[in-house]
A and B are shown apart, each in its own frame.
Chain A
Amino acid sequence: MLYAKNKTGLVFFPAFDWAISPTHPEREERLLYTQDQVFEEGIFDIEGIVEYKPDLVTKKDVQRVHFCVPDLWAVMTESHFISAGGTKTIAMAVMEKQVDCGFALVRPPGHHANRVVHGARGFCNVNIEAIMVEFIRKAYGVNRVAIVDTDCHHGDGTQDIYWHDPDTLFISIHQDGRTLYPGSGFLSEIGGPNAVGTTLNIPLPPNTSEEGMLYAIQEVVLPVLKDFQPEIIINSAGQDNHYSDPITNMNFSAQGYAQLTSLLKPDIAVLEGGYSIEGALPYVNAGIILAMAGVDYSHLREPDYDPDRIRQTPDVTRWVGKTCEKALETWHNRVQLGELARKDTQFAKRDRKIFYDTDNINEYQNETLRICEACGGTFRIDSKAHGGKHILAVHIPRNACHHCHEQGLSWYEEAASGAYDKIYLQDCAKDVIEEKTPPP
């Protein structure tokens, strides 16, 4: 009989009846062969691997993270309630110590979903990791969280949500944004003025192989995690760095993913992207599960795996080395960089244009952040979708200081309701969600 060294919880929810559209990569078939492989390997029979049925998330779970425009029901499908719910189920199993660690193998994914949601971006509507993290914080009083995003695409949604949060370390390792969607995640993106350094990006060149990915984990991620001392580590386990993925250009493998998982030792992994549904996902998912459970995976590989064919060139190795060095430098200089970013200002403003590729929406954002040494700082976002709704969203952080809390509340109260389609308040300090709509 096979035993798991680490008791491991799994939520497996392939949503066999849900697709963005019939030929979209995010379609019914996506986890079919993964299911076949996982069942055929007898993984659920391994002593110490426990399968859970996903719960549904509540409206409040979502609203703690997102400003849904025009409302939650327009943004969430039934499947989103389940996939976000699946992460919550795993979180509960881990936090209540029913299992040592857990993997939410769910779809649809979430890491491209920003705090403000006008529609779907990068196949994502709501951010299932962030919903889970905020649930964990609320239910179990956890403060310091690290999210390591190993999807091939920059985790721009998660970055957006935690941009101003000094208690959430977000590290994304991905294919260089100059060569792939969403075109962000550069070394220079290091977090907002109140949270400099707790966002780190490690953009890797196309054709990076096992060597480069594992180097970034060992040389940057692990030492930074050691410094940051998170209470919980989450892995956004996208699987599209695989050499056979149809929409990316990397050369990672099932063995590589399993080793990455063994090194990172995440408390919770959440499936993100990965669209080589036959050649990669069955083997990568099996590898991640075995690695989390501490079961030998040395015989696991893709049928066509040939390490020589996917080996990275010396150029790539050099580039990876330099990128990692710069990322580490940012981390070590984060205090000075933060002071520089805050200067003597009271408020920091930024204007952004956000494109929703999946739903073809252009959003214009104007953000005002209160500069604060004591907390993440309250902020308000004036957001308008081209041809869509115009909203004002006020966020008060969980650990808000008195000043930021007062500032957030007065922004919300003073906002002229006539100017917007809706005004939102996300008071995370009091766990209160409020909305105002103009009188008809």
Chain B
Amino acid sequence: MIIGLDVGGTHADVVLLGEEGLVRQIKVPTNPENLFDTVLTGLEKITDGIDPGTIQRAVLSTTLATNRITQRCMPDVGMIISAGPGINPEFFRTCSDYHVVSGGIDHRGRQTLPLDTDRVRDIADSLEKKGIRYVGVVSKFSVRNPAHELAIADILGDRFDKVFMGHRVSGGLNFPRRIATTFLNASVYPIHKEFFEAVVKALARKGLNLPIRILKPDGGNMRFSASLEHPAQMVLSGPAASVMGAVGFAPQNDTCLVLDIGGTTTDMAILANGAPLLDPLGITIGDHKTLIRALDTISIGVGGDSAVRVIGDTLQVGPDRVGMAMAFGGPLPTPTDAILLLGIGDQGDPDLARKGIQDIADALGVDLMTAAQQIFDQACQTILDEADAMVRRINAKPVYTVHELWEGHRIQPRHIMVLGGPAPWFAKGLERLGNCPVELVPRWTVANAIGAGLARTTCEVTLFADTEQEVVTAPEEGFTQDISSTYSKEDAINTALSLLRDKAIARGANPDHLELEVVDAIEFNMVRGFFTSGKNIRVISQVKPGLIHGFDPIARKIENRPFIQ
């Protein structure tokens, strides 16, 4: 059986999934001061009376590190940067112990300026003296040649608890993001490690030896042991959990908009032929733009409990949540109150709701029901408008070949799937105001936890071959090999897929059912003078986000049968 656990702002959803479908679902309140307690309680409760030996995996999606980053509650780390010419690396300073050393690598991975190793030694001494235990090392173009990062790490040796190198965070080009991501890895590493080790230990003390996996923002998971090398990747997986909860039920040959409507916010994502679209660059966490692969999601300040106000003579829904809906004793009117009055929902105290909405009606100079309708419609319309803006943004993404531009592939969602607490009520308004059918994701209140539980292990490999220099390299994987000048694009694709296979298995994928694909494979003839001097080949391959093999029967049972409780 599989456990899926998703920690949200107000409560954590936990599900137990078996061949018989959704075996058990629970909610435990989130204690932001003590997430450890929240996670442990959730895992204990869901496994109550279950033989732990039957549990194949427990996938956790937590907001642990996110909170620490946004609260800037992180340990001091050291950063050593070698940039070479370009934008002044001072602009990307992440912390006070941020040191730039001389050294340069160019776009083809050639050294243009040797590394100042003496300076690195001095910096290492000073960091050690200050008691800094975690260090990030980043050089420009290290994904083409990690030599300088490796040399710096070598000098740092084992004088620090953990050293993170930039070329290990992603194969993508973006020096400032590589710096930010490496910095976050070094910063959240101790919290991440302590937290999950404590969870594993506490469970073990109770006789629960659960194989823990952690959900990533790209909607895939990773073994806990593998996550220690990439702790920042475990940040912000919440929206991904919800999207993965919808994947199993989305149309496989069409484009679908997924809306996770919560109390405070609505998260949205696009599924193209059943697969979620990825953010082309990487997720933004607080002020940090990173290279962490993530689903392309946006979050807007409209939800069931959004505060409703009249500013001047304009109705305003959200973007904040002040408390519960008035129908549940909250301080301000909300869409939930309007929904109750309109007879769409049936929960809460109608008298309290009426009181709140009447204030809005008076301020707008309309009657009670008109005000309720306006609030509900505005909430739904805002969601639809933001979704349109998201689709426009995705379609405006530049392409770099004549072929792609003329093909002009555009996405246009023709289905909407909704989940989250107020989903069934909003679905009615979205269908009326929008122009495509709206469906409720089965088990919409815990679909996020189901998504976390059923997500497959994902990863990516970026490979770069230069037949003039006779080298193929995937620095993120620590892979470099000499090649002959006849090395071809096919060879590069095969190498990339083989590296991807190994990586996916190491991170916990099922070796019998690997969903490997080539995202991009391009080759360029390098011409110097009038002769072809070599080929420049770039391959990106991935395990795309999706559900684990064999989930279909489970999903069907989730869809058709009431869960067993």
Pair from one complex: yes
Interface membership of chain A positions 24-56, coded 1 if the CB is closer than 8 angstroms to chain B and 0 otherwise: 000111001101110111110100000111100
Interface string of B79-117 (1 = CB under 8 A from A): 000011111110110000000000010111000110000
Residue of B nearest to A255 (CB): B85
A7 to B371, CA, bound (A): 41
**Known contacts A2-B87, A17-B402, A300-B86; A42 and B527 CB within 8 A of each other:** no
Whether B564 is near chain A, meaning CB under 8 Å from some CB there, is no
A283 sits at the interface (CB 8 A): yes
Interface size on B, as a range, is 35 or more
- A290 and B88 CA atoms in complex are apart in Å by 11
Cross-chain pair count, CB within 8 angstroms? 126
A40-B527 contact in complex given A290-B87, A299-B88, C-beta closer than 8 Å: no
Q: Does A296 contact B (CB under 8 A)?
A: yes
Contacts of A299 in B (CB 8 A): 83, 85-89
B401-428 contacts to A, CB under 8 A, are: 401-403, 405-406
**Contacts of B525 on A, CB cut-off 8 Å?**
22-23, 27-29
B531 and A23 contact, CB distance less than 8 A:
yes
Q: Which A1-26 residues have C-beta < 8 A from chain B?
A: 1-2, 11-18, 22-23
Chain A residue at smallest Cβ distance from B140: A40
Given A28-B524, A300-B86, A303-B84: A42 touches B405 (CB 8 Å cut-off): no
Interface contact B174-A23, CB-CB below 8 Å: no
* Contact call A53/B397, Cβ cutoff below 8 A: yes
Please tell me if A282 contacts chain B, counting CB pairs below 8 Å: yes
The answer on a CB contact under 8 Å between B86 and A298 is no
**C-alpha gap A14/B87 in the complex (Å):** 22
Assembly CA distance A304 to B400 (angstroms): 29
Q: Does A78 contact B (CB under 8 A)?
A: yes
Nearest chain B residue, comparing its CB with the CB of A42: B176
- The reply to whether B527 and A23 contact each other, CB–CB distance below 8 Å, is yes
CA distance A17 to B404 in the complex (A): 10
Q: Which of B87, B92, B140, B403 has the most CB of A within 10 A?
A: B87
| A79 to B400 alpha-carbon distance, docked (Å) | 11
Q: A15-B402, A303-B112 are in contact. Are A36 and B87 (CB under 8 A)?
A: no
B residues near A27, Cβ cutoff 8 Å: 525, 527
Interface residues of A in 38-87 (CB under 8 A from B): 39-43, 45, 51-54, 78-79, 82
Q: Tell me, rounded to whole Å, the shortest Cβ–Cβ distance linking B275 to chain A.
A: 23
A302 beta carbon closer than 8 Å to chain B: yes
Whole-angstrom CA separation of A16 from B380 in the bound complex: 42
A366 to B527, CA, bound (A): 40
Q: Type the 1/0 row for A269-308, where 1 means its CB is closer than 8 Å to any CB of B.
A: 0000000001000110010001000011111111111000
CA of A52 to CA of B397 in the docked complex: distance in angstroms? 8
- Contact in complex: A13, B524 (CB < 8 Å): no
Known interface pairs A22-B527, A299-B86, A303-B113. Does A33 touch B108 (Cβ–Cβ under 8 Å)? Answer: yes
Contact A40 B108 (CB under 8 A): no
Given contacts A22-B525, A41-B86, A278-B107, contact A16 B176 (CB under 8 A): no
Taking CB atoms, residues of chain B closer than 8 Å to A82 are 402, 405
Which residues on B sit within 8 Å (CB–CB) of A37?
86, 107
Contact with A along B518-537 (1 / 0, CB 8 A): 00001011110111100010
Task: Provide the bound-state CA to CA distance between A299 and B175, in Å.
Answer: 15
Q: Which of B86, B141, B176, B398 has most A Cβ within 10 Å?
A: B86
CA distance A41 to B287 in the complex (A): 18
Asked whether A282 and B107 contact (CB < 8 A) given A40-B140, A45-B289, the answer is yes
Which residue of chain B is the closest to A18 with respect to CB atoms? B402
Task: Determine how close the nearest CB of chain A comes to the CB of B288; give it in whole angstroms.
Answer: 10
Set of chain B residues within 8 Å of A41, measured between Cβ atoms: 86-87, 175-176
Which residue of B is nearest A83, CB measured?
B402
Q: Residues 377-409 of chain B: 1 if any A CB is under 8 Å from the residue's CB, otherwise 0? A: 000000000000000000011111111011000
C-alpha gap A295/B86 in the complex (Å): 12
Contact pattern, B 139-159, Cβ under 8 Å of A = 1, otherwise 0: 011000000000000000000
Q: Is the CB of B141 within 8 A of A40?
A: yes
- Which A residues touch B396, using CB under 8 A? 52-53
| Bound-state Cα–Cα, A278 to B533, Å | 13
Q: Separation in Å of the A360 CB from the closest CB of chain B? A: 18
Task: Check B536 against A23 for contact (C-beta < 8 Å).
Answer: no
Provide the main secondary structure of the chain A interface: loop
Query: Nearest Cβ in chain B — how far from A81, in angstroms?
Result: 8
Asked if B443 CB lies within 8 Å of chain A CBs, one says: no
User: Is A17 in contact with B401, judged by CB distance below 8 angstroms?
Assistant: yes
- Are B287 and A1 closer than 8 Å at their CB atoms? yes
Complex contact B532–A23 (CB within 8 A): yes
Taking a contact as CB atoms closer than 8 A, the residue among B86, B113, B174, B400 that contacts A45 in the complex is B174
Are A45 and B522 in touch, CB under 8 angstroms? no
Contact yes or no, A79 B402, CB < 8 A: yes
* A42 pairs with B107, CB closer than 8 A: no
Closest to A78 in B: B402
- Identify which of residues 148-174 in chain B touch chain A, using a CB-to-CB cut-off of 8 Å: 172-174
Docked Cα-Cα span, A296 to B289, in Å, equals 20
**Residues of A close to B140: CB separation below 8 A:** 40
Give the docked Cα–Cα distance between A300 and B91 (Å).
Answer: 13
> Could you tell me if A2 and B175 are in contact, using CB atoms closer than 8 angstroms?
no
Closest chain-A Cβ to B406's Cβ sits at a distance in Å of 6
Using Cβ atoms and an 8 Å threshold, which residues of chain A touch B113?
Answer: 303
Kindly provide the distance from the CB of B334 to the nearest chain A CB, expressed in whole angstroms: 34
A36 touches B112 (CB 8 A): no
Chain B nearest CB from A100 CB (Å) reads 20
Of the candidates B87, B88, B398, the one whose C-beta lies within 8 Å of that of A51 is B398
Q: Which residues does chain A contribute within 8 Å of B86, judged by CB atoms?
A: 37, 40-41, 286, 299-300
A39 to B176: give the CA distance in the assembly, Å. 10
A278 and B108 form a contact (CB under 8 A): yes
CA distance A303 to B289 in the complex (A): 27
Closest to B172 in A: A39
Q: How far is A54 from B399 in the complex, measured between Cα atoms in Å?
A: 9
B177 on the interface (CB 8 Å rule)? yes
Q: Which residues of A contact B85 (CB under 8 A)?
A: 283, 299-303, 305
Q: Which residues of A contact B112 (CB under 8 A)?
A: 303-304
Chain B residues in 8 Å Cβ range of A290: 87
Q: Determine if B175 and A40 form an interchain contact, defined as CB atoms under 8 angstroms apart.
A: yes
Whole-angstrom CA separation of A53 from B400 in the bound complex: 9
Instruction: Please name all residues of chain A whose beta carbon is closer than 8 Å to the beta carbon of B402 when the two chains form the complex.
Output: 15, 17-18, 78-79, 82
In the complex formed, the residue of B with least CB distance to A14 is: B400
Q: Once the chains are docked, how many angstroms separate the CA of A11 from the CA of B177?
A: 22
In the assembled complex, the Cα of A11 lies from the Cα of B141 at a distance in Å of 24
Do A303 and B104 contact each other (CB < 8 Å), given the known contacts A42-B87, A296-B88? Answer: yes
| Interface pair A36/B400, CB less than 8 Å apart | no
> Is A53 within 8 A of B87, CB to CB?
no
Instruction: Please measure, in the bound complex, the distance between the C-alpha atom of A286 and the C-alpha atom of B175, giving whole angstroms.
Output: 14
Q: Which of B289, B399, B405, B525 has the most CB of A within 10 A?
A: B405
A43: nearest residue on chain B (CB-CB)?
Answer: B87
- Which residue of chain B has its CB nearest to the CB of A15? B402
Which residues does chain A contribute within 8 Å of B289, judged by CB atoms? 42, 45
Report chain A residues within 8 Å CB of B399: 53
A17 — which chain B residues lie within 8 A by C-beta? 401-403
Look across to chain B and name the residue whose beta carbon is closest to the beta carbon of A28.
B524
Contact of B400 among A35, A40, A246, A300 (CB under 8 A): A35
Instruction: Enumerate 21 A-B pairs (CB-CB under 8 Å) in ascending A order.
Output: A15-B401, A16-B524, A18-B401, A23-B525, A29-B525, A29-B536, A32-B524, A36-B173, A37-B107, A40-B86, A40-B141, A41-B176, A45-B289, A246-B529, A278-B106, A290-B87, A300-B87, A301-B85, A303-B84, A303-B104, A305-B85
Which residues does B use to contact A, with CB under 8 Å? 83-89, 91-92, 104, 106-108, 112-113, 140-141, 172-177, 281, 287, 289, 396-403, 405-406, 522, 524-527, 529-532, 536
Q: Can you add 11 more A-B contacts, CB < 8 Å, to A2-B87, A42-B174, A286-B86?
A: A17-B402, A29-B526, A32-B524, A39-B174, A45-B176, A51-B398, A53-B399, A54-B398, A78-B402, A303-B85, A304-B112
Closest 3 CB pairs of A and B: A303-B112, A42-B176, A36-B107
